[in-house]
Amino acid sequence: MRRILTILTLSLAPASAYAEALGGNIYIHDPSIAVLDTGMVSFATGVERAPDGGMPRTKTSPDGITWQEAGALPGGMPKWVTTELGFTPRNVWAPSVFAKDGTHYLYYSVSSFGHNDSAIGLMTNAALDPADPTQGWVDQGMVIRSHEGEDFNAIDPFRIDVGDKAYLSFGSFWDGIRQVELDPATGMLLDGAQPMPIASRGGGAIEAPAILEHDGQFYLFVSFDSCCRGRLSTYRIMVGRADTVTGPYVDATGKPMLDGGGTELLATKGRMIGPGGQEVFERDGAPWLAFHFYDDDDGGRPKLELAPIGWTDDGWPTLPALD
């Protein structure tokens, strides 16, 4: 979801993982987290047919535990979206926030469910205010586009910078996850850059890429299977790793992610149904995972969860055991 996101070091209260740890308003889809000097801000998929035009929604937390709604980004659907797509989407999907040199870059997706007539746009904010994270955003327009008939889908963006280069990973279904180089200053597509495949299930369900750099290797997190069905959701979080950000990524058995590989990190267990839509962020200098799940104890409603990432002796990510 998406880079490591820290701008300033923030000492947050420790939180045990999963469900019981978080409180307040944690109803969310596709979370992306910014860590600021006075707390945390989440960005998430907008509400369909909402008066605000389905724009990305924000929440704030002083400690990463108790969350409150801060509202949707104002202004309604950016004008370029309807002009480019030929229709007005019901909502904006899977916004992903990235911080660099004091500026926040918010990548977002516009599409219609089940189609790859889609685009990824960008908003920037030179002074994100944790007291009101909905203000200060300037839309920069379209970053990349996919059309019906092409074999990729321009949704679920995630940015990571490596050295003096920047990369955007994205994708859902079709031929899987793509990656393209960005201009690190503007956040827009680098001139002449072409999207390259980094993970695929041959048309099967894979989406929501997020990349983490750790100890000289790169870890690609994705979601397999079905989102957005409440208690019937089968989402699960998978991971592979590579020696370079561009891949090739393989799972723990050595199977390439381009050939459907992926090592399962988290799946349905107990009250937590269909965890996915994940992103990585940095908290107190350590990597964490943000994701949503469907709470079987609350009618299958989607909720936020944050979990610290640990590591096995052979360098694979782990999450705390479920209760």
Question: Which residues carry out catalysis?
Answer: 30, 207
138: number of Cβ within 10 Å:
9
Q: What is the largest CA-CA distance in the chain?
A: 52
Q: Which residues pair with 115 in a beta bridge?
A: none
Would you give the distance in Å from CA 37 to the centre of its chain? 21
CA angle, 104 as apex, 14 and 126 as ends, to 5°? 120
How does DSSP assign 207-237, residue by residue?
EEEEEEEETTEEEEEEEES--S-GGG---EE
Give the span between the Cα atoms of 286 and 130, in whole angstroms: 21
DSSP per-residue codes, 272-316: EEEEEEEEEEEETTEEEEEEEEEEGGGTTEEEEEEEE-EE-TTS-
Rounded to whole angstroms, the Cα distance separating 262 from 238 reads: 5
H-helix or E-strand spanning residue 274? strand 272-283
Instruction: Looking at 65-152, list the stretches that DSSP marks H as alpha helix, in order from N- to C-terminal side.
Output: 79-85
Closest of 109, 49, 111 to residue 86, by C-alpha: 111
Q: For 319, which DSSP code?
A: -
- State which H helix or E strand residue 106 sits in: strand 103-110
